[in-house]
Amino acid sequence: MIAPLAVMKYDKLYKSYQVRRNEMKAPKGKYAWTATVGEKGQIVIPKQARDLFDIKPGDTLLLLGDEERGIAIPNKGAFTELFSAAFAEDKGGDAK
């Protein structure tokens, strides 16, 4: 018999979560990771994500926020594209 959730110890819950997480199959090309927010508001991007998206120390990442949908980090190229579009000269010759 399984003990009630209220009396289960953290380590049992964590191990149960790990087992269920390993059994779940994500669609190809889709991933989910967790990150802990430190005292200074910093998060560590998991190594698998850094490797997959070629994120290196010193890289600048764009964070987008939506109050209903949450926070997203688009690929590194999105920052360059957005920056270029925001500061592109007007095609009519009027530079702002």
User: How does pLDDT run across 17-48, given as a tens digit for each residue?
Assistant: 555 555 567 788 888 899 999 999 999 999 99
CB 45 within 8 A of CB 31: no
pLDDT for res 3 = 44
User: How does pLDDT run across 49-69, given as a tens digit for each residue?
Assistant: 999 999 999 998 888 899 999
Question: CA 79, 84, 68 angle in degrees (round to 5)?
Answer: 45
Q: Which domains does the chain have, with CATH numbers?
A: 5-86 (2.10.260.10)
pLDDT for res 22 = 54
Residue 81 pLDDT level (bands cut at 50, 70, 90): confident
